Each structure stands twice: as structure tokens, then as C-alpha cells.
Amino acid sequence: MDKIFQVSEFIEIANIMLGPIGKVTVEGELTELKVSQNKWVFGTLKDPTSGDIVSVFSIVYKINNINSLTEGMQVQIVGNPSISGKNSRFSISADSITPAGEGAYKLALQKLMTKLEHEGLFDVSRKRALPQYPELVGLITAKRSEAYNDFIRIARNRFNYGRIDYLPAAVQGQKAVGEIISALDYFNSLKDTDRPEILALIRGGGSLEDLATFNDERVARAIYRSQIPVVVGVGHEGDTSIADMVADSRASTPSNAAEMCYPTRAQILEDIVNFGIYGYQTIELHRHRLSQELIEKATAIDSFAKIIHERYRRSINILISNLNRLVSDIGYLIKTKQNANQTIASYLTHGLSTFRQTIKHRLSLINELDYRQLLKRGFSITMQDETIVRSVGSINPSTPLVTILADGQVISNIESKEHDER
């Protein structure tokens, strides 16, 4: 007799049998799309012909384009099939959900562009100019690709005096987004001395689906946050991606990206010639200005010299006249030297005599005014607390009096004091 399974056992065996199938791609109409707690993604994939449905489950970080998806959109879901839930519904644990068909894809792409534009990622004012003569360029593209060969060929044909730091990365497929973001972040993490001055992110042409990596929101944000100016060169002239719109500079092709990074020898020679012309013109302008300033200063100096000359000419004439008068006076003095000597001797004698008399008189006055002379004549000085007593009213009866005489002093105690009313 065949084994009888419980429902839970049957679902478990079914999931075990589904395991070896691995990842599958299922296309259908996306309905009932919901994001829970900004973490879990739930939805339903419906066959528009038969009405059959499959439950969809995923995590937000896996579905990077979740904001560009809408209900009713035809999509392709890549993931692992299983039977889950209380109702035992057939479901897919999704790794990616992408619009199916060019129309749906373009609709999702337009929705993402509108969102990024609203956030300012395409703002022209934030775009930086590329250095004119970079010494180090960081190159990101696929290994052994035509894009790589075109870039290197153009760089070598031009005046490439700098270096190229090449970091290979897939440009399409499941690994492409992660490898490109890692390359951008790696170059930006280098210290200033090792950091490239320009980053070139390039790839060859392809279909709209082939360019999906360059339309990925995560790649766009990695370009936006780069501290190094980024040049994006994708495919052919008509190919434009979101990465192009976020980049500081958009190159029409990988070859054009190299042309934007490196000037031609002719451009460099033209810059040298223009610099020489500018330098010559600048020197001539300064020379002309200096010549004008020298002429103006020379004119001013000449005028000043004439004024000084005239003033000093008059001063010199006056000085000469005074010198002549002085010479004449000296001659007169020499002639009258004897009389002058006699006059001077007389003045000196008279002056000394007068000076002696004055000194003698003043010494006499000093002696007369000396209080000790007054004491010798019978006068005395009475003091109390080192202060001369000038009035009976100022005497303190409890303090002794000191009377100074010509030959000494007397200390007296006060028994009484009388005030003269006269």
C-alpha cells in the first residue's frame, strides 16, 4: 500500500522536489503589490489569459526598483519557487522584479527618472568641470571589452602623460550593479595622493535591457555621491541612460569619454600658444602702465626740483649775504679787540663785586631768620604732641608741655590754664 502523507508532509516533500529546479523566471501581470514595514515586499503574479496566480515574496533591498513598479505592469520575476502559507499557495521568493516588454520597461524607467530628477540628481548646478590635464584617471569597464580597447587607444594617441588606474567590473548581468558600485566606492576611498582626478565609467552599446545596469537606481546614487568627477560613456550616440544624466559629464561613446579626459597634442600646443600670447599681452600692458607711471613721476620730480632749486637759490643768496655781514663784523671785532678785552675785564670785576655783596646780604638775612638766634635773645617755643602751641585754647591739660630754650628744653605738667580775654 502506498504511503499516506499528512498535508504538511506533502507540502514539505513538494518543496524538497522543487529545490533542485533552482531559480526560475516567471512572467505575468503584477497585482496586489505592497511593502510592509519598509522591509518586506508582497505581491501576486497573475496570468492574464488563464487567471492563474502565484504569490510573490521578497525583501526590499533585493528589489532596488520597487519605486518604479506599479500594479498592472507586465513583469518578469526571477526567484525560487515553493509552496507556502496557510492556504498552501504556490509562491516565488523573488530576487528581482523587472518590467517585461519595452513598453513596461520604459514606463518604469520614466517613473524612476522623474523621482531622481525631483531629488536633484540631474541638477546641472551640481555637476563639476573635468580637470584639463589629469595625471591619473580611474577606468571602470568590463575585462577585454571593446570599450576598454577604444578608451586606451584614444588615450595613447593623445598627449597622455598621466596614468590610468583600471578596475574591471561587469557592465551587465546580475553582478554588474554590485561590481560597478564597489569600483566607484573603492576609488573614492583612496587617500588624496592616490585618488584619480576623473572616473570614466564606460561600456559598449546594447539593447535597452542590456543597459539595465546603467539605469539602475543604486548605480545612479553611487555616481551622485562620488567625490571624484565622473564621465559616463555608454554604447552609441543615441544611447542615453540614467547614469549619463547623473554623471558630471556625458560622453556619447567610450572613445568620446577618452577624448573628454585627454586633450590632443594640437589642443595643448594651442593652449601653450594662447598662454604665451596672453602672457605677452599682460607684460605689454604692465610695461605700458609702468612707462606712463614713470613719465608722470619724472614730470612731478622735475617740477619739484625746480621749486626746490628756486627756494634754495634764494636761501643761499640770503646765507651768502649773512656770511658777508658776519665776516665784516668779525673784522670789526678784531680791530676793537683791546677795547673789548678791557670792557670785558671791567664787567667781570664789577660783576664779581656785586655778586659778593649779594651773597653776604643774603647770609645775614638767613642768620637773622634762624629761630635759634631768636632763642638766644630770650624767646622760647612751647610745643605739645610735637605741635607748636599758638593758643591757650588748643592746649590739652592731660598732656605735658615741652618748652624749647636756647640751651635745652623744659617739660611741664599743666595744673590749670587761663585765657586772656584781651
CB 224 within 8 A of CB 163: no
State the pLDDT at residue 231. 96
In this structure, the answer to whether residues 102 and 206 fall within a common structural domain is no
C-alpha cell belonging to residue 306: 625746480
In this structure, the answer to whether residues 58 and 177 fall within a common structural domain is no
In this structure, the answer to whether residues 15 and 87 fall within a common structural domain is yes
In this structure, the answer to whether residues 191 and 106 fall within a common structural domain is no
Residue 325 lies in a domain: no
Residue 319 CA to residue 311 CA, distance in Å, equals 12
Residue 360 lies in a domain: no
Lowest mean pLDDT among 166-175, 246-255, 321-330: 321-330
Residue 29 CA to residue 74 CA, distance in Å, equals 5
- Of residues 89, 381, 137, 113, the one with CA closest to residue 241: 113
C-alpha cell belonging to residue 186: 573603492
Residue 340 lies in a domain: no
Secondary structure E strands in 350-414: 381-384, 387-388, 401-405, 408-412
Sheet with 136-141, side-by-side order of all strands: 163-168, 136-141, 198-203, 230-234, 249-251
Q: Which residue has the higher pLDDT, 189 or 318?
A: 189
Query: For residue 132, what is the DSSP state?
Result: S
State the pLDDT at residue 245. 93
Last residue of a domain, one of 118, 143, 175: 118
SS3 29: strand
Range ranked top by mean pLDDT from 7-11, 29-33, 305-309: 29-33
Note down the domain range covering 378: 374-412
**Mean pLDDT, range 260-273, rounded to an integer:** 72
Residue 19 CA neighbour count, 13 Å, CB half: 7
* Tens-place pLDDT, residues 187-239: 999 999 999 999 999 998 777 777 888 988 999 999 999 999 999 998 765 66
Last residue of a domain, one of 118, 150, 181: 118
- Of residues 217, 140, 142, 143, the one with CA closest to residue 182: 140
Counting the structural domains of the chain, the total is 3
Residue 349 lies in a domain: no
Last residue of a domain, one of 93, 118, 143: 118
* Tens-place pLDDT, residues 64-120: 777 777 777 888 889 888 887 666 778 888 888 888 766 677 777 888 888 899 999
Considering just the CA atoms, what is the radius of gyration of the chain in Å? 57
Mean pLDDT of the chain: 81
C-alpha cell belonging to residue 115: 523621482
State the pLDDT at residue 116. 92
Q: 42 forms bridges with which residues in the sheet?
A: 34, 57
Q: Which residue has the higher pLDDT, 217 or 280?
A: 217
Residue 312 lies in a domain: no
Q: 405 forms bridges with which residues in the sheet?
A: 408
Residue 128 lies in a domain: no
**Mean pLDDT, range 265-277, rounded to an integer:** 66
In this structure, the answer to whether residues 111 and 138 fall within a common structural domain is no
Q: What is the dihedral of CA 190, 195, 198, 199, to 10 degrees?
A: -30
C-alpha cell belonging to residue 384: 605739645
CB 202 within 8 A of CB 250: no
In this structure, the answer to whether residues 155 and 222 fall within a common structural domain is yes
In this structure, the answer to whether residues 106 and 141 fall within a common structural domain is no
Query: For residue 234, what is the DSSP state?
Result: E
Per-residue pLDDT at 140 exceeds 90: yes
Residue 397 lies in a domain: yes
Query: For residue 52, what is the DSSP state?
Result: -
Question: What angle (nearest 5°) sits at the alpha carbon of residue 172, between those of residues 177 and 239?
Answer: 105
Residue 205: which CATH number?
Answer: 3.40.50.10550
Cell 502565484 locates to 54
100: Cβ–Cβ under 8 A, 6 or more apart, which residues? 27, 74, 75, 76
The string of DSSP letters for 178-231 reads HHHHHHHHHHHHS-TTTS-SEEEEEE----TTTTGGGG-HHHHHHHHT-SS-EE
C-alpha cell belonging to residue 160: 597622455
Residue 354 CA to residue 281 CA, distance in Å, equals 89
In this structure, the answer to whether residues 155 and 223 fall within a common structural domain is yes
C-alpha cell belonging to residue 333: 671785532
In this structure, the answer to whether residues 99 and 45 fall within a common structural domain is yes
Query: For residue 16, what is the DSSP state?
Result: H
Residue 67: which CATH number?
Answer: 2.40.50.140
pTM of the model: 0.52
In this structure, the answer to whether residues 142 and 98 fall within a common structural domain is no
Residue 293 lies in a domain: no
In this structure, the answer to whether residues 104 and 203 fall within a common structural domain is no
In this structure, the answer to whether residues 140 and 256 fall within a common structural domain is yes
Q: How far is CA 112 from CA 65, 121, 126, 315, in A?
A: 8, 11, 20, 94
